[in-house]
């Protein structure tokens, strides 16, 4: 049994923390919380890039030099599928394939995989600048993508964190948004990190 643990985070801009300092993104905040609790963890390994859809994340995993075994894996993907007008029907098999890989990376242990729901960017100032769409339409579409990923997560018995309601609070609280008026701030990421940390900690005890 090795004493130093590892965390792999798969996703897009919400995982790398676009427009915030690296230490403020949720993977790095999770590692910080775990280390404060005296758990030994390597730095988080992140495969994520702003703008990635499910298939682009898949392509990146295919060419990455990731190890095949991590103690914990997070997956948060789909906002760019919605943003680009792609269908939930296309998303479902791609997300399911990514989730199966996440379980594989977590030593085949679904209880050590954590799926995060897609944030609702429809409430952000940026949303009003996108032609041909409305806040309500964005929120409705995000909900349909999240219904799909939640159902798939449930069928594979992985952990699921619904962060979407929390992201909607930014409509009334601008401190939850990064300076770009689109992505979450470090303060919002800390809310997600606390939830991920709680799951990881409970699995280590």
Taking the chain (205 residues) in runs of 10, the rounded mean pLDDT of each run is 84 97 97 97 97 98 90 98 97 98 97 98 92 92 98 98 96 94 96 98 93
Q: Is 46 helix (H, G, I), strand (E, B) or coil?
A: strand
**pLDDT at residue 1, as a whole number:** 43
Per CATH, the number for 7-204 is 3.40.50.1110
Task: Report the alpha-carbon distance of residue 9 to residue 74 in Å, rounded.
Answer: 5
Locus of tokens 């979450």: 184
**DSSP code of residue 19:** T
Helix (H, G, I), strand (E, B), or coil: what is residue 123?
helix
Q: Provide the pLDDT for residue 35.
A: 97
Residue 158 has phi, psi (to 5 degrees) of: -95, 170
How far is 102 from 26, CA to CA, in rounded Å?
Answer: 18
Domain residue limits, the chain: 7-204
- pLDDT at position 94: 98
How many angstroms separate the first and last alpha carbons of the chain?
A: 14
> pTM higher than 0.85 for the full model?
yes
């Amino acid at each position: 049994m090795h004493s130093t643990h590892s965390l792999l985070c798969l996703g897009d801009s919400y995982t790398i923390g676009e427009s915030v300092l690296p230490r403020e993104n949720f993977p790095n905040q999770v590692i910080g919380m775990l280390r404060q609790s005296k758990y030994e963890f390597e730095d988080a390994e992140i495969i994520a890039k702003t703008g990635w859809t499910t298939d682009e994340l898949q392509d990146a995993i295919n060419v990455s030099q990731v190890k095949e075994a991590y103690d914990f894996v997070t997956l948060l993907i789909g906002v760019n599928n919605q943003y680009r007008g792609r269908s939930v029907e296309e998303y479902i098999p791609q997300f399911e394939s990514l989730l199966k890989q996440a379980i594989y990376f977590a030593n085949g242990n679904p209880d050590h995989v954590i799926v995060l729901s897609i944030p609702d960017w429809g409430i952000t100032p940026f949303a009003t600048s996108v032609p041909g769409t409305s806040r309500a339409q964005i929120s409705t579409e995000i909900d349909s993508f999240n219904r799909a990923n939640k159902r798939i997560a449930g069928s594979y018995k992985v952990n699921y964190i619904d962060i979407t309601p929390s992201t909607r609070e930014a409509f009334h609280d601008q401190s939850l948004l990064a300076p770009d008026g689109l992505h979450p701030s470090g303060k919002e990421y800390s809310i997600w990190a606390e939830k991920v940390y709680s799951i990881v900690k409970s699995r280590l005890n």
